[in-house]
Structures are given as structure tokens and as C-alpha cells.
Amino acid sequence: MKISIVLGTRPEIIKFSPVIRECERLGLDYFILHTGQHYSYNMDRVFFEQLELPEAKFNLDVGSGSHGEQTGKMLIGIEDVLRREVPDVVLVEGDTNTVLAGALAAVKLGIAVGHVEAGLRSYDREMPEEINRVLADHCSDLLFAPTEKSKGILLGEGISEEKVFVTGNTVVDAVCQNLEIAKRKVSVCEGLGVDDGGYFLATVHRQENVDNEGMFRGILKGLELVREEFGFPVVYPIHPRAEKQLKIFNIEVNGVKIVEPLDYLSFLQLESNARLVLTDSGGVQEEACILGVPCVTLRYNTERSETLDVGANVLAGTDPLEIVKKVGLMLNKKNCWENPFGDGKAGERIVQTLREKFG
Ligand code: UD1
Ligand code: UDP
């Protein structure tokens, strides 16, 4: 069996790390194909170094661009590599343009596609990610659903049950594998001048939020009001897309501590010690839930609805007063929910399923 792992962005590197480690442990024949969608040191290489992942065998260096341009370049590059390498299965993870290109390139060559994190739905077709995940699911041969709920969504869309495997989400594996190391190796609060449990952590990067001036200003005003109302500093490791948009809109940010994107161990520690998380990130909603940290989501919908179901998360949207209200609500709740995303063995289950299917 030969496996091709196609990845290209920060969350894919992190969430594929348990699968890669399992392939290494078992000495399987696999290779990493990096599209180069993310390329800045702190969005890409830092994760390979810190998580001690093997180098990608191929890097397409596609970089940034419009959706069509970026996806088209990836499709051409991935097809070329797959033709030469002829893997039995191509694995993609999540909902990025890299996922869409990887899945499409493989299925058109008649190569089996395995979609990790299948069956998530926001039901908002204006999100580029929703289009990517729906299309990837519907051309996959193996759908690794993180929860029974996501499996139910796939079955509801007519996908046949024998293709769907409930594995848990590999983000739990990543948290379990790295949290203790983070505790030993980094002291991020000290470096940022905040007290353990005495700050809020914010991340905002979604296209629909930061590319829209009104939405982005609303969120930043909300963060400023939250700081005033509750008295906790707000730390915001800023994604390069958001940083670029701040400059384009000429926005002056008040009352928020903006820092560069962090490496995984530092971010994990900052997240686990935060009093509360405000985010529009998918992975951060999941991690906060796993870590027992209350979350306020700066969106009007979420494909991580399990976090809402267990009471770990609430939707606030982008209105400043609503953000303050939802933070107040979450601060008054007990953090005693169950983690709905599995037991930290998703990576093992995914690889085991591949071995059973492809020998
Ligand atoms: C992408 C994914 C999004 C995911 C996010 C994870 C799609 C459609 N979107 O969004 O689902 O949540 O990654 O972080 O695939 N940039 C840099 N350095 C980099 C990468 C990007 O400076 O290494 C800047 C560029 O200005 C670029 C912008 O960020 O134009 C957006 O990058 P892009 O990869 O297109 O989308 P993301 O917003 O990162
Ligand atoms: N993350 C990180 N450093 C940061 C911000 C996030 O390592 O400064 C990690 C975070 O722990 C999570 C992942 O990046 O595992 C989430 O990625 P992102 O928010 O970019 O994308 P999304 O999950 O929304 O697709």
C-alpha cells in the first residue's frame, strides 16, 4: 500500500501530524505532498520543525492567489505528482482549497480518496470552506467522520454507509500528544506578560469576517469592549490574512494585544490557560472544547455544532454588544462538558482502516 498525504495549510499540518506519526511508527510506504498554500515560516515550517515531521517529498509552492487560480495550480501540480507516484490512496484533511484540489486530482485519476474530518456542515454555501468540504466528501471513497453526528450528516446526503468510518477527530490526538510537552517546554504567558487564567485568547481570520470591513471592525470593537467590561487582557495572534486586511482598511486597534502567529506548543499552552477563547477558527473551537476552556464563536454558524451541543461554545456573530453579552454568558457557566471529538486515537484508526482496505 502506498499513501499520499496532501496538505498545504497550518491546520492540515497540525491535524495530519498524528496520521503521519502513525505511518512512521508502522514503517508504511507514504509521502507528503505539500501544495504550498501556506508558506510563511510561522504558518508552515515551524510546525514541521516543532512536531518533528518528515519533510514533504514534494512542495508545489503554489502560494496565494484567487480561489480559482490557487486551486487550478494545485490541481495541475498534484495530478502531475500522482501520475508519477501512483499511490493507492490520497488522504486530504479538512476544508481548504488544498483539500478540494487533492480530492479532485485523485478521483479523476481513478485513485481512491480518503477524507479526514468528513461530514462537517455549516450549511452556509457562501463560505469557500463549505463548498470544499461538500465536494470533497462527495468524491471520496473513505470518509473519516469525527463523530456519529457527522456520520449522520453524510448518510443523510446519500453517501453509502460502508464508506463512512467514525474515528474521532485527529485534533484530539494532536492535543494529547503535545499538551504535556508544551507544559514542559514553553512559558508563553510569561513572555507575553499575562497571568495564567487571567486573559482572553482571540483568533480571527475567516474570509467572510476579515475581508469585510464592517464585520472586522465589529469584531475588533467587540474585543475592545470585552476588555473594558471584564478587565482581562485580550491576546490576538494575528493570521497573515487578517494582518493584511487591517492595513487595507486602515484600522487602528485599541485594547487588544496583537502578536505574531504562534508555534503550536505556545499556542496550545496559551489556549489551555486562557479564561475564555473568542474565535472564528474551526480548529480553535474544537481545541477549546477539548481543553475545557469556554468559547465564544465570532460567526453566525458553525460546522462544529458538537461544541454547541455540549455547552462548550456559543455563537456571537460580529456585533460588538452581542460579543460582550455572549462572553458574560460563557463566563458564568460551569466548564464540565464531555469532549465529543473522541479519545485521541483517530490517527491510529484512520491508518488501520487504510491497511484493511489496501493491504
Ligand atoms: C485558508 C483556508 C481556511 C483556513 C485557513 C487556515 C481556503 C479557502 N481557506 O485560509 O479555510 O481556515 O487557511 O489558516 O483554503 N498568507 C501569508 N502567508 C501564508 C499564507 C497566507 O502571508 O503562509 C496571506 C496572503 O496574503 C494570502 C492570505 O494570507 O493572500 C490568505 O491565504 P489563503 O491561503 O488564501 O487563505 P487563508 O485565509 O489562509
Ligand atoms: N494555531 C497555532 N498558532 C496560532 C493560531 C492557531 O498553532 O497562532 C493552531 C491552533 O492550535 C489550531 C490551528 O492552528 O490547531 C487552527 O488553524 P486556523 O485557525 O488557521 O484554521 P482553521 O482551523 O480555522 O481552518
pLDDT digits (tens, 9 = 90+) for 322-342: 999 999 999 998 889 999 999
**Sign of torsion, CA 20 162 339 220?**
positive
Give the model confidence (pLDDT) of 77-123 as tens digits.
999 999 999 999 999 999 999 999 999 999 999 999 999 999 999 99
| Ligand 1 pocket test target in 35, 37, 70 with most atoms within 8 Å of CB | 37
Say if residue 7 is in the same domain as residue 137. Answer: yes
Co-location of 104 and 127 in the same domain: yes
145: CB partners within 8 A, 6+ apart: 118, 119, 151, 154, 164, 165, 166, 167
Tell me how far apart the alpha carbons of residues 317 and 323 are, in angstroms, rounded to a whole number: 7
Residue 38 Cα: closest atom of ligand 1: 23
Q: Ligand 2: distance of its center to the CA of 239 in Å? A: 9
In-domain check, residue 268: yes
User: Same domain for 153 and 17?
Assistant: yes
Range of the domain at 219: 187-331
Q: How remote is the C-alpha of 33 from its chain's centroid?
A: 18
307 & 204 share domain: yes
Q: Is residue 176 a part of any domain in this protein? A: no
Q: Do 201 and 265 have their domain in common?
A: yes
Distance 98 CA to ligand 1 centre (A): 11
Q: State the total domains in the chain.
A: 2
pLDDT, tens digit, 9 for 90 and up, residues 245-300? 999 999 999 999 999 999 999 999 999 999 999 999 999 999 999 999 999 999 99
Q: 239 and 211, same structural domain?
A: yes
Same domain, 153 and 217: no
Q: Which atom of ligand 1 is nearest to the CA of 281?
A: 12
**Which residue CA neighbors atom 2 of ligand 2 most closely?**
264
Note whether residue 181 is domain-resident: no
Within-domain flag for 260 = yes
Active-site amino acid positions:
205
CATH of residue 259: 3.40.50.2000
Is 337 part of any domain?
A: no
- All cell numbers assigned to 192: 507575553
pTM exceeding the 0.85 threshold for the entire prediction: yes
Residue 140 lies in a domain: yes
Do the Cβ atoms of 135 and 100 come closer than 8 Å?
yes
Question: Is 87 within 8 Å of 354 (Cβ atoms)?
Answer: no
Helix (H, G, I), strand (E, B) or coil at 262: coil
Q: What is the helix (H) or strand (E) element at residue 34, kind and residue range?
A: strand 29-34
Q: Are residues 308 and 348 both part of a single domain?
A: no
- Same structural domain, 9 and 141: yes
- 127 φ, ψ (degrees, to nearest 5): -80, 125
Task: Dump pLDDT digits (tens) for 175-217.
Answer: 999 999 999 999 999 999 999 999 999 999 999 999 999 999 9
Residues having CB within 6 Å of any atom of ligand 1: 9-11, 37-40, 43-44, 64, 95-97, 128-129, 205, 207, 239-241, 244
For residues 298 and 275, membership in a common domain is answered with: yes
Per DSSP, 252 falls in state: P
* Residues 6+ positions from 249 with CB-CB distance below 8 Å: 213, 216, 217
Compute, in angstroms, the gap from residue 279 CA to the centroid of ligand 2: 10
Same domain, 270 and 201: yes
112 and 86 co-located in one domain: yes
Tell me which residue of 281, 227, 237 sits closest to 258, measured CA to CA. Answer: 237
* Whole-number Å distance between alpha carbons of 103 and 267: 30
Residue 90 located in a structural domain: yes
Q: Which long-range contacts (CB under 8 A, 24 or more apart) does 180-183 make?
A: 181/265, 182/264, 182/265, 182/266, 182/268, 182/269, 182/272, 183/269
Query: What pLDDT is stored for residue 311 in this prediction?
Result: 98
Which of ligand 2's atoms lies nearest the C-alpha of 171? Answer: 15
Residue 327 parent element (H or E): helix 320-331
> If you take atom 19 of ligand 1, which residue's CA is the nearest one?
38
Q: Grid coordinates 496520521 are at which residue?
A: 19
pLDDT given for residue 333 in this prediction:
87
